[in-house]
Structure 1
Amino acid sequence: MKTARTLGRAVAAATLGISLSAGVMAGEVNIGFTGPLSGGAALYGENTLSGLRMAAEEINAAGGFDLNGEKTTINLVSLDDRYSPAQAATNAKRLKQESNVPAIFIPHSGGVFALQDFNEKDDFLIMAYTSVPTVTEKGNSLTVRIPPTFDGYVHAFTDYALENLGTTLGMAGATHEYAKIWGSMIEKEWTSKGGKVVANNPMDYNKSADFFTGVSRIIAEEPDVMFVGGASEPTGLVVQQARQMGFQGGFIVMDQAKIDEVANVAGGLDMVEGAVGVVPLSVYDTDAAKSFLKRYEEKYGKTPGSEAAYNYLALHGLVAAMDATESTDPKVIRAALGDALKAMDASKNPYEVTDVTEKGGFVTDTTLAVVKDGKIVQEAIK
């Protein structure tokens, strides 16, 4: 649907002289990605990229999109940043200079903040897969936050854990920037509601596969609940080692990790009994989610996480905005993105995102899931 085409053409004419926009080469538009494709968070980065690849392949198989009267396809250009903000910034400069991308997808907050230092000047849209609230509170006009902010999770997870799991908390989160912010907020929320933090020992989830020393320090203080979280794979190892050392309490799982993926690594859902986290896509009961799950599983042979689904729908939305406006100017795309999401086919929108806030955040609901009797169950947020 060309709901924003007239406005988009007018804006494009004013800003670009009706010339080809950034990232356009002979019927192809380059879209950038920088994320961890090696190291401890490699699985997380690959899962994110898989959603983008799936969307790009669907878009191209359908004939691409309209741009200046020509059918245009998508070319994904992906670079490994090993979860390093400095490397992410270097990659973004390279993606802009060598591939002339109008948008760069990035799945970690440290990298997003690094790119926000120059993206408006260099004229590219940051498609940020991070739930840190400040990425859209800073007023960067060319940043789009894809998942919901995690402050809602902090409140909901804390309330559930204090009511159902116990009052003492051991902090065993990761050391990267996103986890530090999450850990700081959960600690503040926990103590403000009458809970007690008995241990705080963050660990480098990206470089280690043996968390024995760090986990044992937490368990020695006998907490009722452990806060864990980085990418799903190392988080699963932390949970596994905690259980092997005799921890029988519950877990608050940071939203970057997904309970079903953590369970797969840890050794099954019984290993994460009493865990509270975000609702995995596999638990969603909507037609759009089921359709995406089926197609993803047929393509990749595994169940997708939210990072795949959110980035899949975000690329479809980005291309729908370019199609509607027949422009690749980042400012034009950003202005048209909300209407494009509303008009997008439901099968391309597994999380049913319906709008973009004025500050650049996708509008979605906060969710909460717990593991009860070996099953992942969605709970209402009070």
Structure 2
Amino acid sequence: MSFRLGRLLGGTAFVSLILASASSACELKIGSPSVLSGPAAQWGIALRGAVEFAAKEATEEKLITIDGEACTVSTSVIDSKYTAEGAASAMNQLAAQGIKVIVGGVGSPEVTGLKPVATRNRMVAMVNSFAKNSIGPQWPNVFHIGPGPSGWAGPIIDAGRERFKFDSVAIVAPNDQGGTDVAGVNGDIFKEKGVNVTQEYYQRGTTNFAPIVTRVMNANPGALDLASSPAGDAGIIVKQLRQAGFEGPIFRLGGPGFDEIARVAGGVDVLKDFLWYEPIYMDENMKALEEKYQKLMGSPRPENSDFFRWTFAARMMIKAVAAAGTVDDPRKIADAMRALPVEDANIGKGHWIGQSFFGINQEMSYPFAIGIVQNGQKQPYLRAEAVSEK
């Protein structure tokens, strides 16, 4: 009887040892509030693809080692629906999972909803938003994946004015923070360059853009800026404006999405004269990243070029975790992030910026591209160097 009891107790202790070892295994779990439905889903799909790729890359290459143990990296991606409420709900679900490291969301409405939850649950986050208060001293653990229009709208407007003559512009955007903040920044930059500005706003989710198209045509501006209108909306607006006879250049100074805009509009030739911000200048290093994704994930990378920016962001977060030597201390991870250079093997070198615009130096800046369609023909991208505040 005592022999059997001893064997039973010994077996129990052995199983407990195995379970304790498994529970103490080093794992970084990256949470990602990511819009996966609606007109902005293309942005969220790019984010999801990037964090999943970076997680698998870090695990296979053993990029995080803590106390001599290689850490695995996994992800938890939840649809944030491109709303503040959806993002807050997603963040609360991630917090319930015990997640402390966040990469996402993709736009201002989401970031507005996620920051209070991140602060309350002491998370460290890398976000994307073109809002005027995307980051700030009051959110010391929140970083921004790349410059907004305050950094790159000026060079793109200059490129447009070199090619097309106009002295007025109508800016069209959604009437929430994701639209009004970007439209406001763009409008200020146009005005600084001597361009008269009018603004038209619409309710997010609108499907009938005829009234806006009519008002724009009646105002007769020399150019149009679609600001941060989702790619699906932007394509419809461009198509209807061109059908109505609008001849001026059209800017998209609110993020990538060219392929989807061209598809919805009816083709590159329909765009006629069109300029946009492309977050990445494609060269051999970027093509190598595409090939690595294909090899590691077994499929082509997500179509939207925001994939590259989010890959950079996720890699930077993973580097910060490795440098901090912890997967669950957000303050140490944030401190380590600030000390890292803005640099990536594929994207290249950049700078930390943001002090002059946000009051905190926690925005990554790296080389980008200016996309141009002229007379219905897509032109070679123009490379623009990383914006610096020095």
Q: TM-score, normalised by structure 1?
A: 0.81
Cα pair distance change 1:108/1:137, threshold 3 Å: same
1:128–1:169 distance in 2 versus 1, CA, 3 Å: same
Q: Distance in 1 between matches of 2:101 and 2:301?
A: 31
- Alpha-carbon deviations, 1:42-87, whole Å to 9, x = none? 2221122111122122222334621333222122111112111122
Question: Structure 2 counterpart of 1:363, which letter?
Answer: S
Residue in 2 aligned with 1:241? 240
SS at match of 2:31: strand
Range 37-46 or range 106-115, more displaced: 106-115
What are the superposed Cα offsets for residues 179-227 of structure 1, whole Å, 9 maximum, x if unpaired?
Answer: 2111122233334443233x532223x5234423322321232222111
User: 1:211 is aligned with what amino acid?
Assistant: F
> Which residue number corresponds to residue 98 of structure 1?
97
Change (3 A) 1:165 1:74: farther
Counterpart of 1:109?
108
Shift in CA distance, 360/188, structure 1 to aligned 2, threshold 3 Å:
closer
Aligned to 1:318: 317
Note the 1:1-382 alignment, pairs <5 A.
Answer: 26-63=25-62, 65-163=64-162, 164-197=164-197, 199-204=198-203, 206-228=204-226, 229-279=228-278, 281=280, 283-285=281-283, 287-296=284-293, 299-301=298-300, 304-328=303-327, 329-337=329-337, 340=340, 346-347=345-346, 350=347, 352-353=349-350, 359-365=361-367, 367-373=369-375, 374-379=377-382
Against the structure 1 CA distance between its residues 341 and 232, is the aligned structure 2 distance closer, same or farther, given a 3 Å change threshold? farther
2:135 aligned counterpart, secondary structure: helix
Range with bigger deviation, 60-69 or 50-59: 60-69
Distance 1:294 1:303, change over 3 A: farther
CA contact (8 A) 1:289 1:351 kept: no
Give the SS at the match of 2:202: coil
Contact kept? 1:34, 1:80, Cα under 8 Å: yes
Q: Compare 60-69 and 227-236 and name the one that shifted more.
A: 60-69
Which of structures 1 and 2 has the larger relative contact order (alpha carbons within 8 angstroms, sep 6+)?
A: 1
Distance 2:282 2:121 in 1: 39
What is the percentage of aligned positions where both structures have the same residue? Answer: 19
Aligned residues: 352
Give the drift of 1:331: 1.6
TM-score between both structures, scaled by the size of structure 2: 0.79
The 3 A distance-change label for structure 1 pair 55 and 41 is: same
Structure 2 residue matching 1:117: 3-state secondary structure? helix
For 2:127 and 2:361, how far apart are their aligned partners in 1? Answer: 13
Structure of larger gyration radius? 2
In structure 2, the CA distance between the partners of 1:289 and 1:366, relative to structure 1 (3 Å rule), is: closer
Q: Is the 8 A contact 2:182 2:254 kept in 1?
A: no
Q: Structure 1 regions of 5+ residues with no counterpart?
A: 1-23
**Structure 2 unmatched ranges of 5 or more:** 1-22, 355-359, 386-390
* Cα distance, 1:268–1:295 mapped onto 2, change above 3 Å: farther
